[in-house]
Structure 1
Amino acid sequence: MRSRPVRRLSWCLALLLLLPAACSKSRPGQPAARGGPALTGAPVADLDGAVDAGRPAPASGPVDDLLASLRPGVRPGIARAIGVADLGELSFYDIDLRLDPDAGTFEARERLDFHNRTADTLDRVVLRVYGNEFGREGEAPPVTLQSVAVAGAAAAVEHPGPTTYVVPLPAPLPPGRRVVLEAVFSGAAPRQEPGQTGMLRQGLEMIRSLFGGGGGGIEGYGILSMGDGIVSLAAWYPVLARYFADERRWDDEEPAGIGDVGTEDLANYRVRVRLPGQATVASSGVELTRGATPTDVTFGGVALRDFTVLASRTYAVVERTVGETTVRAYVPQGREPFAARILDDAVAALEVYERRFGPYTLTELDVAAAPLIGGAGGVEFPGIVTVATMLLQDLSESFGAWLPPGMNRLPILDEMVEFVVVHEVAHQWWNGLVGSDSVRHPFLDEGMAQYSSVLYFEDRYGPERAARAADRNVKLNYHVYRLLGSPDGPVDRATGDFSGPLEYAALVYGKGPYFWAAVRKAIGDEAFDRVLHAYYERHAYRVAEPDAFARLAGELTGRTDELLALHRRWFHEAHGDEDLGTADLGQLLQLVIGDSAAAGQLTGMLQGLGGLDGLAGLLRMLQGSGGADGGSDGDQGLAALLQMLQAGAADGGAAPGMPLLPGAGDAGIDADGPFGELGPLFEMTRALLQPLAADHPDIARLVELLDRMLRGEDVSLVELLPLLLQTLQTLQSTYGLDGPDAGVVDPSLLLLMQQMAGGGTAARPSGRTRPDAGLRP
């Protein structure tokens, strides 16, 4: 189950967030967005009929129509590549889905024809609904499994964890036998807040998470959510858990919250999607048939590892056919120029990777904009890749007239989009075709996708631009992590063994990919190309071991010991600084910005704040001086204030319950005015600080600067940001937000904030809803 982004974009977006300020002015705001779609369906044929448990393989039902998902040249040899006599031996998911694209709710029925391809006799089957890891804290899980029947009889299902359902079998299921499970389930895609996918909003949230803030929002990068007029349904249906053959058990461990949540076996899929009204659906597999209405469509495919559906009433679509594959790009209406661009990138990547690795096996490839959050630039699924809608926005949509000339669409943003697209397309080979354990060994598919993207830039633009793209999109993850004082370490570990997403990004996305560059340097370009082709041919439709690439390269070159030592050095030891070098803040800013003068200004500003450590302190204070849970109970007022400010910036007006501020007029601040979406934030910050200015000269000066900014005058950021830092320190020390009485907020400050908020107080989320005790017939 793919739940992780192409790479953490935190580093680049965090630095870009400060970019316009370096040239003259200051911070936040975000574009408004509207909620998006969902789907559902009625029973599949014979869904209610009883099926005898334990029948022999392979009769899972006809799969001839599903072969339309495969290029003709691939079809004759695919069963042999998988290691089965017939494609019908694979387990089969037949799902009927009804989706309401306006409410974001769905209902579905699933018929899972499970083939026991293990060597063990099974007395139970474990299903996972990984999407139940992705709701909001304190709310019910997004997906409700209402009932499960086995061979036509209702089953007493155990539910030991949020994503785990244990289904007992009525009789032992020997190896090679089949049993049918029927599930009825429903759900609601978590709805994102207006403006949540905005570039500035995401930049703020990612910076806060970078220093330990956050919590309480939609989890799972938004892969199961609604936003920007799009519904994204990933991890939305009951799927077979992994079976560990060496341990003779099902995987029932809950996801770690970092990286992929699971790894599925190959299976055949038929998914009928029905929704009311006009809408466009992008999905895994290919379109098989249409029903009586344009929005009654059945999709399907053979030998897929997952199945994802996206839908929108506003998708604009462009397509191009390359050989036997049709490539389509889906973007919200009004973003059509981006559709043409990402279509070009996807087509070029397809051509480069087929030449470098081997054929893409499917007849369709979709690239769809999706409401991704949490640092996800893109996420891959079989036959479809997604790109975050925030990357399809210009900076002026967040910064308005505050944006200096020439900075509306920086080259690095376009490079980011291209790198995201080609990274996700590379995943169609590396974990889509060549499988790997992306939970226990995430470095393998992620590292290969990262380095494949560098090869793409090299083949399309030449080695110099490829090296620059690698520095910005790969190595930068590692360098910023080290600049923050975090330690280097082994790359090859399970997702749950990393300290957090930043270490995961730095080592898995930032350092690990350079192993493939080291192998290439050691054996030469010609031998390296042979190894890439051989690796694809040997492991397609199978699961590669963590050291399979090094062993194969050693086998083909006669240098096994040397290349296994190289594997250990890059993945099990800590030589990152020696192998990748080090960089200072100024070098990284120049790398991101591409302008030495602007980079120098921004470097000076950050040094005035005390460097990255000072920035970290400022952001922790903005968060409420708390950790991942949002701070101590006494800090809820300041954390709530930040949330109000962000909400006001997102909506282009005052936060809910907040009175109109001076100068706002009856309609509040115009988000299309000279401040863009920054105006409301400045107004509310000034309103908070004004009553405190008489007793604190630094606060008085900050209010004066805010007044000037609200009048449209330029303000020196070199003066503004240190004043902001000093003001936050004053609030901490004077009002009990720091020191021995930390967590005891002065009542006068709380009263002021409550008055601004209309008298309300913030309440911490009560925590995730506990799983049901079980489903009973």
Structure 2
Amino acid sequence: MNKKLNYLILLTILIFVLIGCEKEETIIFDTLTEKNFNKVDPDKINHYNIEVKLDEEQMTYTGKQWTTYINNTDRTLGELYFHIYPNAFKTKENAPILFGKDGGDTSQYIGGNIDINKVTVDNLELDYSIEGEDNTILHIKLKEPLLKNQKLKIYMEYNVKLPTAKERFGYGDRTINLGNWYPIACVYDEKGWNLEPYYTLGDPFYSDIGNYDVKIHTHKDTVVASSGNILSEKVEGDEKTYEIEGKLIRDFAWVASKDFKIARGKIENTQIKLYYLDENPSMVKKSIKIGEDSIRIFNRIFGDYPYGHYSIVMTEFPTGMEYPGIVFIGEQYFKGKFKDVLEQIIVHETAHQWWYGLVGSNQVKEAWLDEGLTTYSEVIYTNEVHGPKKGKKYLTDNIKIGYELGKNYLLEDDIVNKPLKDFSSWDDYGILVYTKAAMFINEINDKFGEDMLYRILREYFKEYKYYNATTDDFIKVCEEVTNTDFHDLVQKWLY
């Protein structure tokens, strides 16, 4: 009897231990961690349901896409437009290779493109045409006018060839980058349809918030990092299927590799994943820590990050690139000698989750608005993590000196707030959009104090979270918070 009782006691203890371990290993992080959607109705924004099958041998994929488009404009629409960015990579002469054609070896370049095979509504085929510079616009003609607040579900099928480019879109030796990879609805704003091409310069994207359900089929050995929340991974035979959910995000990106390993961290309500290629325990630990510190600080100063998942991805890429819930970080920065640069890049791209991801803007027409705030966010992070002395040094070394030296070599004008087509190269773009724009934010700090600047950033985030904001919107917040006319400051720094 005693032996049986002891056995039952031990069994009970074991069950509780196993349950405890299971809970520890399967912590669930929600797709969205808040219920305050800033007056956005999740049922009244565009919804992308995409099923994609990746062929890693041929470097192609096929897509089936159901887009529920909602007419949130103030007019009746007889046509719709979608960006189809993969066509920008058809030829090496026109491909948007970052930092020019000298940024990488393009001698053996194989182009990429997207072929649209079908566009239907209710099984009825629609007339469409491929237009725009580099054929990056899909123009769909509707059979019936789409009235204000009405919705329409459009079905598309497409085949895509990936280019040999270690870029936002393309593949290298170990990773496949899939940024701007699917047809995404063009923004219709107060100026009408925005049909800008995929410029080589800057981040030439402008999109509305939406919901995403994405199913990705890959080889069973492939690991996928993505925007949103990976709900499940299932393997059948040689195929793996990922089911992914993204809510209230303005784009969806992913990276695939058979070499990825995953490390995890957690900060407040968000799980951080680091997808890395090479074993380097100290850099893995450091990268997770940078991500945690960034989100913790920006949560407190700007406003809460509302997503339960954030992925930092080591990939073949020349620098860093932001997408909602995921950032691409060039593998070269994970070498020990670049540890300070790695911190700067992770912090910068993480700040973009607020300035671009949550508070959107037209990166084609007003690139400074997200980049200037993001660059100055590096100063905020340094000040908070490493102390005011190092924060001041970071501001001097990385922004003030860079601006003072760089402005002497500008080839044309020093106007910050202008469209991408008016910049001559990455040289003047970098000095103006990143550095001079950050100097403008720093002058607000110098003139009104840190507390007032932080209040401005919190109010701006609070008012425009999930929306697209403009320069005028930001200045309006500045003037309201400080009760000061900003005309002279704007003329000094932005025009």
TM-score where L is the length of structure 1:
0.55
Higher strand share: 2
SS at match of 1:117: coil
Q: Render the CA deviation track for 1:341-399: whole Å, top value 9, x for unaligned.
A: 211111110111111111010000000012213xxx200000111111122246xxxxx
SS at match of 1:175: coil
Deviates more, 1:136-145 or 1:178-187: 136-145
Matched, 1:332 2:277: yes
1:419 to 344, 349, 359: 344
Q: Render the CA deviation track for 1:157-201: whole Å, top value 9, x for unaligned.
A: 111232011111111111111111111112222124xxxx7xxxx
Asked whether the equivalents of residues 330 and 339 of structure 1 are also in contact (C-alpha less than 8 Å), the reply is no
2:441 to 504, 513, 516: 516
Matched, 1:255 2:198: yes
Residue 168 of structure 2: aligned partner: 223
Q: Render the CA deviation track for 1:310-339: whole Å, top value 9, x for unaligned.
A: 111111211012121100111113344322
Deviates more, 1:234-243 or 1:466-475: 466-475
Higher helix share: 1
Asked whether the equivalents of residues 430 and 449 of structure 1 are also in contact (C-alpha less than 8 Å), the reply is yes
The CA distance in 2 between the partners of 1:345 and 1:512, in whole Å, is 24
**Are residues 154 and 554 of structure 1, via their aligned partners in 2, closer, same or farther at CA, if it must alter by over 3 Å?**
same
Residue 160 of structure 1: aligned partner: 131
Matches within 5 A, 1:550-569: 550-559=475-484, 561=485, 563-569=486-492
Matched, 1:304 2:249: yes
The CA distance in 2 between the partners of 1:353 and 1:145, in whole Å, is 41
By relative contact order (CA 8 Å, sep 6+), the higher-ranking structure is 1
Q: Render the CA deviation track for 1:486-545: whole Å, top value 9, x for unaligned.
A: 355110001111112211111001211111110111111222222222221111112222
The CA distance in 1 between the partners of 2:88 and 2:464, in whole Å, is 31
Residue 462 of structure 1: aligned partner: 387
Residue 105 of structure 2: aligned partner: none
Matched, 1:445 2:370: yes
Matches within 5 A, 1:73-92: 74-75=34-35, 77-78=36-37, 81-84=38-41, 87-92=42-47
Matched, 1:386 2:310: no
Matched, 1:99 2:54: yes
1:127 to 60, 66, 82: 82
**Are residues 485 and 68 of structure 1, via their aligned partners in 2, closer, same or farther at CA, if it must alter by over 3 Å?**
closer
Matched, 1:270 2:241: no
Matches within 5 A, 1:599-614: none
Residue 317 of structure 1: aligned partner: 262
Matches within 5 A, 1:439-588: 439-475=364-400, 477-482=402-407, 484=409, 486-559=411-484, 561=485, 563-572=486-495
**Are residues 105 and 120 of structure 1, via their aligned partners in 2, closer, same or farther at CA, if it must alter by over 3 Å?**
same
Asked whether the equivalents of residues 208 and 468 of structure 2 are also in contact (C-alpha less than 8 Å), the reply is no
TM-score where L is the length of structure 2:
0.86
The CA distance in 1 between the partners of 2:393 and 2:306, in whole Å, is 31
The CA distance in 1 between the partners of 2:476 and 2:357, in whole Å, is 21
The CA distance in 1 between the partners of 2:241 and 2:271, in whole Å, is 21
**Are residues 542 and 306 of structure 1, via their aligned partners in 2, closer, same or farther at CA, if it must alter by over 3 Å?**
same
**Offset at residue 301 of structure 1 (A):** 1.4
Asked whether the equivalents of residues 151 and 179 of structure 1 are also in contact (C-alpha less than 8 Å), the reply is no
SS at match of 1:386: strand
**Offset at residue 140 of structure 1 (A):** 4.9
**Offset at residue 480 of structure 1 (A):** 4.9
Asked whether the equivalents of residues 243 and 251 of structure 1 are also in contact (C-alpha less than 8 Å), the reply is yes
SS at match of 1:555: helix
Q: How many residues align?
A: 447
The CA distance in 2 between the partners of 1:262 and 1:150, in whole Å, is 27
Amino acid at match of 1:168: K
Amino acid at match of 2:131: P
Q: Render the CA deviation track for 1:207-238: whole Å, top value 9, x for unaligned.
A: xxxxxxxxxxxxxxx00011140100011100
**Offset at residue 479 of structure 1 (A):** 4.5
The CA distance in 2 between the partners of 1:431 and 1:234, in whole Å, is 15
Asked whether the equivalents of residues 234 and 309 of structure 1 are also in contact (C-alpha less than 8 Å), the reply is yes
SS at match of 2:469: coil
SS at match of 1:107: strand
Residue 8 of structure 2: aligned partner: none
The CA distance in 2 between the partners of 1:99 and 1:383, in whole Å, is 21
Deviates more, 1:129-138 or 1:479-488: 479-488
The CA distance in 2 between the partners of 1:295 and 1:70, in whole Å, is 25
**Are residues 472 and 298 of structure 1, via their aligned partners in 2, closer, same or farther at CA, if it must alter by over 3 Å?**
farther
The CA distance in 2 between the partners of 1:557 and 1:489, in whole Å, is 27
Asked whether the equivalents of residues 232 and 311 of structure 1 are also in contact (C-alpha less than 8 Å), the reply is yes
* 5+ long unaligned stretches in structure 1: 1-66, 198-221, 395-408, 573-777
Matches within 5 A, 1:35-434: 68-71=30-33, 74-75=34-35, 77-78=36-37, 81-84=38-41, 87-137=42-92, 140-161=111-132, 162-192=135-165, 222-244=167-189, 246-247=190-191, 249-293=192-236, 295-373=240-318, 377-393=319-335, 409=337, 413-434=338-359
Residue 643 of structure 1: aligned partner: none
Q: Render the CA deviation track for 1:120-167: whole Å, top value 9, x for unaligned.
A: 111111111123223442665432222211232122211123201111
The CA distance in 2 between the partners of 1:331 and 1:90, in whole Å, is 34
* 5+ long unaligned stretches in structure 2: 1-28, 94-109
The CA distance in 1 between the partners of 2:433 and 2:47, in whole Å, is 33
SS at match of 1:235: coil
Identity over the aligned pairs, expressed in percent?
25
**Offset at residue 68 of structure 1 (A):** 3.6
**Are residues 424 and 82 of structure 1, via their aligned partners in 2, closer, same or farther at CA, if it must alter by over 3 Å?**
farther
Asked whether the equivalents of residues 150 and 170 of structure 1 are also in contact (C-alpha less than 8 Å), the reply is no
Asked whether the equivalents of residues 415 and 469 of structure 1 are also in contact (C-alpha less than 8 Å), the reply is no
Asked whether the equivalents of residues 225 and 231 of structure 1 are also in contact (C-alpha less than 8 Å), the reply is yes
Q: Which has the larger radius of gyration?
A: 1
The CA distance in 2 between the partners of 1:526 and 1:378, in whole Å, is 30
Deviates more, 1:547-556 or 1:356-365: 547-556
Amino acid at match of 1:317: I
Amino acid at match of 1:385: V
The CA distance in 1 between the partners of 2:172 and 2:114, in whole Å, is 18
**Offset at residue 551 of structure 1 (A):** 2.4
The CA distance in 2 between the partners of 1:475 and 1:367, in whole Å, is 29
The CA distance in 2 between the partners of 1:469 and 1:101, in whole Å, is 42
Residue 98 of structure 2: aligned partner: none
Residue 405 of structure 1: aligned partner: none
**Offset at residue 422 of structure 1 (A):** 0.5
SS at match of 2:374: helix
The CA distance in 2 between the partners of 1:228 and 1:484, in whole Å, is 37
Asked whether the equivalents of residues 157 and 168 of structure 1 are also in contact (C-alpha less than 8 Å), the reply is yes
Asked whether the equivalents of residues 82 and 138 of structure 2 are also in contact (C-alpha less than 8 Å), the reply is yes
Residue 206 of structure 1: aligned partner: none
The CA distance in 2 between the partners of 1:315 and 1:571, in whole Å, is 42
The CA distance in 1 between the partners of 2:273 and 2:241, in whole Å, is 20
Amino acid at match of 1:269: Y
**Offset at residue 110 of structure 1 (A):** 0.6
SS at match of 1:520: helix
Residue 17 of structure 2: aligned partner: none
